Each structure stands twice: as C-alpha cells, then as structure tokens.
Amino acid sequence: MKSEAADWLVGLALRCDDREYVERWCLRIGNGLPPGHPLLGLSALCVGHLSRRFGVVSDEARTLVEELAARCQRDPSDVDGNAISGVEDVRCYAPVAGRRVGEAP
C-alpha cells in the first residue's frame, strides 16, 4: 500500500499540471502522518519536484519542506533524507524574492 501511495504521489508531482492540487496532497500527507512514516520525506521531495517544474511553490509548501528537512537533520528516523533533497530543490528552483539561491531562510 505504501509503495502504491508513493508511486501515485511521485507520479502526480512529475506529471500533473495542477501544481496547487499536488501541493495540497503533499501538505495533507506531510502534515498528517506520524513521525517515522516513509511518506513524510517523500512529500517534501515531491514539493521539490514541483519547484523544478514550475519555478514556484506556495509559502505553506515551502514551510512544510523546510520543517521536514530540519526534522530529518535532527533525527533521520523521524523523516528520511528525501526531505533534504526536497528542500535543496525548493531553495534552488523556487527561491524566495530577495533571498539568494541556496541561502537559508
């Protein structure tokens, strides 16, 4: 079941043209699952995919990715390393106005 959910979410992030729809799913998953769930990091990675595709993500999605990446750095058993890849992509491909690419928030 988790593999099917992961495949579905990644497929949306890579192929769906409705960025806001995919973001809502990433937010729902990233905010709604318990610590240690394998889809937490994947939700951040998928927001990173959206940043690569569209060059923008919502503030709410950006905040989620940054929080999941911070949790991963504190405890990789809480959120897996996909969150780090997600935050790197968001910072690179969808930088906040007035902030240099790669600069921490």
pLDDT tens sequence across 10-59: 999 999 999 999 999 999 999 999 999 999 999 999 999 999 999 999 99
Whether 99 maps to a domain, the answer reads no
- pLDDT of 76: 96
Give the DSSP letter of residue 22.
H
**Residue 77 belongs to what domain range?**
2-93
Whether 74 maps to a domain, the answer reads yes
Cβ neighbours around 10 below 10 Å, total: 14
Which of the two residues, 2 and 32, has the higher pLDDT score?
32
- pLDDT of 87: 97
Whether 10 contacts 42, CB under 8 Å: yes
Whether 16 contacts 25, CB under 8 Å: no
| Average pLDDT of the segment spanning 66-78 | 97
Whether 102 maps to a domain, the answer reads no
- pLDDT of 96: 80
| Average pLDDT of the segment spanning 71-96 | 96
- Distance, CA of 82 to CA of 76 (rounded, Å): 10
Whether 59 maps to a domain, the answer reads yes
Instruction: Give the chain's domain count.
Output: 1
pLDDT for residue 60 is more than 50 = yes
Whether 105 maps to a domain, the answer reads no
Whether 10 contacts 46, CB under 8 Å: yes
pTM for the whole structure? 0.89
Whether 25 contacts 62, CB under 8 Å: no
- pLDDT of 98: 44
| Average pLDDT of the segment spanning 74-80 | 97
